[in-house]
């Protein structure tokens, strides 16, 4: 018998799939798992060159996979004004002022991370920014990426005035006289963002390098990038070509909602060029609506206290025809759908593709699913559509109380983040973080999926406790479920003989009585194909 390259023993093995018998050890050879069993049986795999990792009951998991994430943008944030870990307006202003002073040569001050709940109605004013940066344009995206806070100079250089037409897929916050107040929502962000300096190829490369280091350190061995345009795909291709893209990546090519089916030919070309090493580019991201907090999510009935209900960012007829053609050509659809009408629109589009093309193994999936009409829950299983969950938002916090509930009203509150209901209705679950919108840490995400309580308020009540997932269900969503979405479940996502040794060692047994909160666990080591990457 040839000795193994790696043996991990004494572990609490979480195989994700139901094992034939309990195991506490694995052996790895040539990047694949060759044995799963008891520690005492692993001695036959140990030779002079075998790396042996002895644990004391700590958890061994398949590598986490993030089914909806923005890594390059996360990496770029290291060189931008980062507001993500702050919650007070004064802290935002202090950080922005210090960043501007430290970067006097930047023609624009750009960054992200502020919380809508920090401002009345989720709408900060330009005057706050004017006090600290009056001479250069400023654009700072909210932590969810759907709202931008800009100063007067940014509005001036972009020519956004009281007479500017509001785009169909966004909103310009205005005062009583129609003058823009400094908050731009969804499609309106582009009115100013089009003038931002484009990051260079070198900056994008550095962003990807930094992001991959951070994500591997969190135990993430693969992901689906939820917004890939040609410049980002070029970066991924170079990383794959040069051999340093160690993560398994699916690039979701960005659907330009101001264009039509003519862009699909370009997707064909990008898919062909993007098949390189551990990279594929065979998913297409279709953004169907905005967010509830700004009342741009597409809802089946009006928001509370008004007549608006949002609108579809992509014309439904165009979407249906696009899905039929994308499905026919072998592309996977990766939908952004937050409102219940947007979720229904995505499901209807998949149903249309099924009617024209028959059953397929495209593994179309809908991300976010913040509000789902109960009638649509069984359609996920019926249409074989994966529910792609972002658990970190499913908590009762200031944003829920101040912005979401006043928009939805009490009747629709119970339709939010229906993870348990989807599971009980037979839906297959995958999961992701939407980093940098929320933490990329899958252990924190899993904690919220299981408890429905914010990690910074662990003594609080569970939000809609019937929608909690079990630990087994949440672990599966972040491993085998996301591997399924990425068409990698035959190779990764579980600890089984023959699969690639994409594995993670944690610092504790998650199921031990004294383990503490799930999100307090940390990653001791991450391996991709049996090679340690962190």
pLDDT digits (tens, 9 = 90+) for 120-145: 999 999 999 999 999 999 999 999 89
Write b or e for each residue in 227-253: b if 16 or more Cβ atoms lie within 10 A of its Cβ, otherwise e. Answer: bbeeebbbbbbbbbeeeebbbbbbbbb
Cα–Cα distance list, 48 to 3, 52, 203, 458 (Å): 8, 10, 43, 47
**374 by DSSP, 3-state: which?**
helix
Q: In the block, which residue shows the tokens 């209807």?
A: 348
Q: In whole angstroms, what is the distance from residue 154 CA to residue 196 CA?
A: 10
Residue 20 pLDDT > 90, yes or no? no
CATH superfamily placement of domain 6-63+498-532:
Urease, subunit C, domain 1 (2.30.40.10)
Cβ atoms within 10 Å of 429's Cβ, excluding its own: 26
Confidence grade of residue 486 (pLDDT, cut at 50, 70, 90): very high
Contact (CB, 8 A) for 24 and 9? yes
Question: Using CA of residue 148, residue 149, residue 155, residue 158, what is the dihedral sign?
Answer: negative
Q: In whole angstroms, what is the distance from residue 333 CA to residue 319 CA?
A: 11
The correct CATH number of 201-485 out of 3.40.50.920, 3.90.1150.10, 3.20.20.140, 3.30.930.10 is: 3.20.20.140
- H-run or E-run covering 12: strand 12-13
Burial (0-12, 13-18, 19+ Cβ within 10 Å), 178: exposed
Burial (0-12, 13-18, 19+ Cβ within 10 Å), 318: middle
User: Do the bridges between strand 32-37 and strand 147-150 make them parallel or antiparallel, or are there none, so unpaired?
Assistant: unpaired
pLDDT digits (tens, 9 = 90+) for 411-437: 999 999 999 999 999 999 999 999 999
The runs of H, that is alpha helices, within 43-88 are 71-76
pLDDT at res. 398:
93
Average pLDDT score, the chain: 97
pLDDT digits (tens, 9 = 90+) for 226-251: 999 999 999 999 999 999 999 999 99
Q: In whole angstroms, what is the distance from residue 344 CA to residue 298 CA?
A: 10
**DSSP codes, 302-368:** PPTTSS-----SS-HHHHHHHHHHHHHTTPEEEEEE-SHHHHHHHHHHHHHHHHHH-------EEEE
The runs of H, that is alpha helices, within 19-145 are 71-76, 89-102, 126-132
6-63+498-532 with 201-485: one CATH topology?
no
Question: What is the percentage of the chain residues whose pLDDT exceeds 70?
Answer: 100
Domain boundaries along the sequence of the chain: 6-63+498-532, 108-193, 201-485
Q: In whole angstroms, what is the distance from residue 328 CA to residue 477 CA?
A: 27
Burial (0-12, 13-18, 19+ Cβ within 10 Å), 19: middle
Q: In whole angstroms, what is the distance from residue 441 CA to residue 435 CA?
A: 9
Which whole number is the average pLDDT over 333-337? Answer: 98
- H-run or E-run covering 239: helix 230-241
Phi-psi region of 507 (alpha: psi -120 to 50; beta: other; left: phi over 0): alpha
pLDDT digits (tens, 9 = 90+) for 246-293: 999 999 999 999 999 999 999 999 999 999 999 999 999 999 999 999
pLDDT at res. 472:
98
Global pTM reads 0.95
Three-class SS string for 261-284?
A: HHHHHHHHHHHHHCCECCEEEEEE
Contact (CB, 8 A) for 509 and 515? yes
Class of domain 108-193: alpha beta
Contacts of residue 91, defined as CB under 8 A and 6 or more positions apart, other chains included, come to none
pLDDT digits (tens, 9 = 90+) for 445-482: 999 999 999 999 999 999 999 999 999 999 999 999 99
Contact (CB, 8 A) for 91 and 230? no
Closest CA to 28 of 533, 531, 530, 532: 530
């Amino acid at each position: 018998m040839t000795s193994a390259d790696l043996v991990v023993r004494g572990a609490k093995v979480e195989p994700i799939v139901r094992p034939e018998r309990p195991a506490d050890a694995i052996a790895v050879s040539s990047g694949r798992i060759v044995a799963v069993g008891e520690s005492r049986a692993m001695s036959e795999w140990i030779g002079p060159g075998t790396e042996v990792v002895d644990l004391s009951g700590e958890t061994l998991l398949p590598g986490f996979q993030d089914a909806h994430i923005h890594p390059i943008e996360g990496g770029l944030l290291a060189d931008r004004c980062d507001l993500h870990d702050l919650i007070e307006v004064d802290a935002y202003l202090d950080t922005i002022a210090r960043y501007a002073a430290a970067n006097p040569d930047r023609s624009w001050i750009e960054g992200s991370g502020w919380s809508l709940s920090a401002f009345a109605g989720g709408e900060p004013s330009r005057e706050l920014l004017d006090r600290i940066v009056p001479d250069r344009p400023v654009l700072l995206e909210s932590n969810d990426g759907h709202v931008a806070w800009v100063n007067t100079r940014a509005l001036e250089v972009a020519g956004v005035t009281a007479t500017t037409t509001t785009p169909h897929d966004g909103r310009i916050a205005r005062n009583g006289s129609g003058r823009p107040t400094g908050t731009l929502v969804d499609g309106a962000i582009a009115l100013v963002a089009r003038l931002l300096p484009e990051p260079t190829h070198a900056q994008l490369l550095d962003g990807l390098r930094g992001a991959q280091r951070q994500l591997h350190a969190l135990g993430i061995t693969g992901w689906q990038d939820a917004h890939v345009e040609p410049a980002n795909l070029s970066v991924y291709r170079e990383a794959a070509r040069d051999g340093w893209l160690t993560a398994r990546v699916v690039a979701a090519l960005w659907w330009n909602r101001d264009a039509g089916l003519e862009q699909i030919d370009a997707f064909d070309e990008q898919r062909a060029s993007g098949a390189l090493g551990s990279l594929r580019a065979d998913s297409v991201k279709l953004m169907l609506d905005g967010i509830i907090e700004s009342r741009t999510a597409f809802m089946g009935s009006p928001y509370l206290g008004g007549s608006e209900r949002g609108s579809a960012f992509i014309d439904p007829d165009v979407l249906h025809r696009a899905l039929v053609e994308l499905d026919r050509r072998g592309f996977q659809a990766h939908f952004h759908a937050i409102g219940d009408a947007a979720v229904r629109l995505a499901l209807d589009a998949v149903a249309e593709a099924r009617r024209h093309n028959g059953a397929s193994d495209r593994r179309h999936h809908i991300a976010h699913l913040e509000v789902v009409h109960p009638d649509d829950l069984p359609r996920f299983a019926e249409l074989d559509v994966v529910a792609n969950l972002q658990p970190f938002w499913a908590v009762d916090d200031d944003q829920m109380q101040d912005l979401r509930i006043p928009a939805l009203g009490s009747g629709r509150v119970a339709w939010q983040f229906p993870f348990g209901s989807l599971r009980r209705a037979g839906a297959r679950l995958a999961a992701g973080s939407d980093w940098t919108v929320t933490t990329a840490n899958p252990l924190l995400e899993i904690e919220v999926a299981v408890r429905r309580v914010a990690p910074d308020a662990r003594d609080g009540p569970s939000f809609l406790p019937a929608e909690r997932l079990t630990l087994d269900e949440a672990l599966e969503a972040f491993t085998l479920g996301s591997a399924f979405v990425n068409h990698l479940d035959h190779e990764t996502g579980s600890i089984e003989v023959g699969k690639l040794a994409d594995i993670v060692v944690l610092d504790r047994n998650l199921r031990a009585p004294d383990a503490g909160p799930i999100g307090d666990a940390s990653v001791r080591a991450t391996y991709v194909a049996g090679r340690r990457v962190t």
